[in-house]
Structure 1
Amino acid sequence: MAQARIPGIRVAGVSTCVPARRIDNLAEGERYGADEVRKVVSMAGVRQRHVVDEGTTAADLCRDAAERLLTRLGWERDSVTGLLFVTQSPDYFLPSTACVLHAWLGLSDRCAAFDLGLGCSGYPYGLYVAAAMLRAGGHQRILMLHGETPSRFTDPADHATTLLFGDAGSATALETGDDEAAFCLHTDGAGREGLIIRGGAFRDRHPADPRHLALEMDGAAIFNFTIKRVPPLVADTLALAGKSVDDVDQYVFHQSNRFIMKHLAKKCGLPEARVPMTIEDTANCGGPSVAVTLTRMLDSTHDRTVMLLGYGVGLSWGSALLPIRAGTPLLHGELAALEASA
């Protein structure tokens, strides 16, 4: 089992960014049918989605989040020795989008930069890699960026996906410190077809069926996977960290679906007040939804212990349990339409 307790780290700040463009799902009744739209709003909980304009990418959202965070922290660019970009919405097949972001952010050539190809579970996985790099030595400060633009790979004719997903980017700053994080990470690749884009990459570069260039989702399979896998993940993470349910101030779930999250909270015995949700007005924006919920809902005026939970495409699921110290910057903002980044 992939479990680890990693000491000697500290979350210095988190920043998130969503597009300024908003779409009200209830206004989509003529397009998808009023009954279907109401069903998505009432069950999944998505009333409003933030969606990028053509030409805006996950990297643009993460760049904005990172710039605001670096400015707030006052970090010198040369002090950042690691840059991770977690995404399944890259700007290019090659080079790694992390290299593009490295240039945009003006980081030193002594900074390691690379992409991690993960989606819904990406936030805890990215934190794990960053924490492990800090613990291994040679790094003092790392930026972990996690961004997705699911709106760019949904089929507009498929209301089950189009009405569910929004876009977001995040930047998390980690450095050496006195805190410890506990991680549990899992994979079940046999379930990979539950969420998949079949075409466009090198398995099927130019699919005969253009629908294979869009996201396909087996909703029932993903629901069953989540209900089966996430409750043991919560229990295992608490056991690894030596904590009880009441020791954790907030359980921040990937904002997959309101009905699913409420079901999970009940099954795990979690107080509803400790399970914040942002899905109503920022939709399911993939893995970055964990960071978006953290920045929008966590009160950082006092020390808080949080469990961060990601689960979905892969199939992949993971957790991170760690402290967020009082005064830690938690920033959230919107990105206006912008010219394509050079």
Structure 2
Amino acid sequence: MNPLNTPAGKHVRVDHVALRGVVSASPRTEVRNQDLTDRFSPELIEEIGKMTGVRARRVAAENQTTSDLAEAAARELLADLGWEADSVDALVFVSQTPDYRLPATACALQSRLQLGTHCAAFDVNLGCSGYVYGLWLASRLIDGHAVKRVLLLAGDTSSKLVNPDDRATALLFGDAGTATALEYDANAPATPYVLGTDGRGEMNLIIPKSTYRGACGTTPALPESHPDYLYMNGPEVFNFTIRSVPLMVNAVLEGAGKTVNDIGAALFHQANAFMLKHIAKKLKLPAEKFPLNIDRFGNTSSATIPLLMSTMEDRQALAGDVVMAGFGVGYSWAAALVSLQQMRVCRWVEV
């Protein structure tokens, strides 16, 4: 086996990249689980809340898209950092809820943010693992000397994808958009990544009525699912996560010669509180290094990790190295050991 390829995933390293700032944007509208008693019984709401950890979520307005949230976050970030719009060399938009089938939402955001026409812009269709994959892609552009500054915009408005009567998803998913600034820095420490995919899980987290697959008459039939809405096979996703995430996190730490004692925090995709606490126990992570915000924001897909950073009360935990781990739809997973010593901006806004 190639030493870079392990059961945990592919091991890669990126040099000379500094994460300068993160701004996360949430919709102003808060929906509490207890507000949904017209659809679900109080007993069921309490049961699901205990399992998922979700007590409230931010939900986008009918005319508010992921790009609107990401744009607001990006404007705040550029202003906070003092970056001129023309200084941004690339824009990467990570989302599974783009504005259009085409053109790429990244192109629209380049115009709306008034970035230079020299700016490369493209979309990445990833969900739960998307933020860490986006960091890797943006960093490789910089490490490869193609660009010096990159805006990574990641987020989803998953509330628009769920069946409002589906107990498995309606009480779980929230909305958010985020912006992360990355820049070339010759003195930045190396960032190790572990990346992996197992497409055998494609049917376990899916919107069955895909535009083109459905047009071919081959929309998959799944139990108790509506083809137009998000379907989640909770037990299978749980088993995948418990199996894959500890392996991935240990691999990225071992590759860097670190242990959980050497990190300030483990920033995990906010998928399900019960599942995350189980993983933390397996990894022997103390509670103070394992922040959660799923109770306030729900599962915001590709936005969860930067949103977690932006809303953490203990900012001292972000002063050094942190592990970031994304995992889910695909199946897809990615982890990184990221230095935040050079991060100058980290905040949350409502729009």
Deviation at 1:128, TM superposition (A): 0.2
Residues 29 and 35 of structure 1 are in contact (CA less than 8 Å); yes or no, is this contact kept in structure 2? no
After superposition, the CA RMSD in angstroms is 1.6
**1:308 match:** 324
**1:169 match:** 177
CA displacement 1:22-79 (0-9 Å, x = unmatched)? 0010222232111110011111111001000111111000000000000000001111
Residues 264 and 318 of structure 2 are in contact (CA less than 8 Å); yes or no, is this contact kept in structure 1? no
User: What is the DSSP-based 3-state SS (H/G/I as helix, E as strand, rest coil) of the residue aligned with 1:127?
Assistant: helix
1:294 to 299, 306, 309: 309
**1:338 match:** none
Residues 300 and 324 of structure 1 are in contact (CA less than 8 Å); yes or no, is this contact kept in structure 2? no
**1:157 match:** 165
CA displacement 1:86-121 (0-9 Å, x = unmatched)? 000010010000001001000011110000010000
1:203 to 205, 210, 213: 213
Deviation at 1:301, TM superposition (A): 8.8
- Does 2:95 align with 1:79? no
- Does 2:343 align with 1:330? no
**1:257 match:** 272
CA gap of 1:37–1:52, structure 2 versus 1, over 3 A, is same
CA gap of 1:327–1:182, structure 2 versus 1, over 3 A, is closer
In the TM superposition, what are the counterparts of 1:207-218 in structure 2 within 5 Å?
211-218=226-233
CA distance in 2 between counterparts of 1:103 and 1:263 reads 44
CA distance in 1 between counterparts of 2:42 and 2:269 reads 27
Residues 251 and 308 of structure 1 are in contact (CA less than 8 Å); yes or no, is this contact kept in structure 2? yes
**2:242 match:** 227
Residues 208 and 227 of structure 2 are in contact (CA less than 8 Å); yes or no, is this contact kept in structure 1? yes
- Does 2:126 align with 1:111? no
TM-score, reference length from structure 2:
0.92
Report the AA paired with residue 88 of structure 2. Answer: V
User: What is the DSSP-based 3-state SS (H/G/I as helix, E as strand, rest coil) of the residue aligned with 2:164?
Assistant: coil
Gaps of at least 5 residues in structure 1 are 336-342
Deviation at 1:271, TM superposition (A): 1.1
- Does 2:109 align with 1:93? no
Report the AA paired with residue 336 of structure 2. Answer: A
Report the AA paired with residue 85 of structure 2. Answer: R
1:188 to 198, 201, 204: 198
CA gap of 1:244–1:76, structure 2 versus 1, over 3 A, is same
**In the comparison of the two structures, how many residue pairs are matched?**
335
User: What is the DSSP-based 3-state SS (H/G/I as helix, E as strand, rest coil) of the residue aligned with 1:287?
Assistant: helix
CA distance in 1 between counterparts of 2:20 and 2:131 reads 16
Report the AA paired with residue 280 of structure 2. Answer: A
**1:269 match:** 284
CA distance in 1 between counterparts of 2:299 and 2:241 reads 15
Gaps of at least 5 residues in structure 2 are none
CA distance in 2 between counterparts of 1:318 and 1:327 reads 21
User: What is the DSSP-based 3-state SS (H/G/I as helix, E as strand, rest coil) of the residue aligned with 2:16?
Assistant: strand
Report the AA paired with residue 26 of structure 2. Answer: V
Residues 302 and 326 of structure 1 are in contact (CA less than 8 Å); yes or no, is this contact kept in structure 2? no
User: What is the DSSP-based 3-state SS (H/G/I as helix, E as strand, rest coil) of the residue aligned with 1:325?
Assistant: coil
CA distance in 1 between counterparts of 2:146 and 2:202 reads 36
Identity %: 39
Deviation at 1:160, TM superposition (A): 1.4
Deviation at 1:244, TM superposition (A): 1.3
CA distance in 1 between counterparts of 2:259 and 2:165 reads 45
Residues 15 and 332 of structure 1 are in contact (CA less than 8 Å); yes or no, is this contact kept in structure 2? yes
User: What is the DSSP-based 3-state SS (H/G/I as helix, E as strand, rest coil) of the residue aligned with 2:281?
Assistant: helix
CA distance in 1 between counterparts of 2:243 and 2:273 reads 17
Residues 21 and 343 of structure 2 are in contact (CA less than 8 Å); yes or no, is this contact kept in structure 1? no
**1:242 match:** 257
CA distance in 2 between counterparts of 1:61 and 1:240 reads 35
- Does 2:13 align with 1:15? no
CA gap of 1:328–1:211, structure 2 versus 1, over 3 A, is same
Report the AA paired with residue 334 of structure 2. Answer: G
- Does 2:49 align with 1:31? no
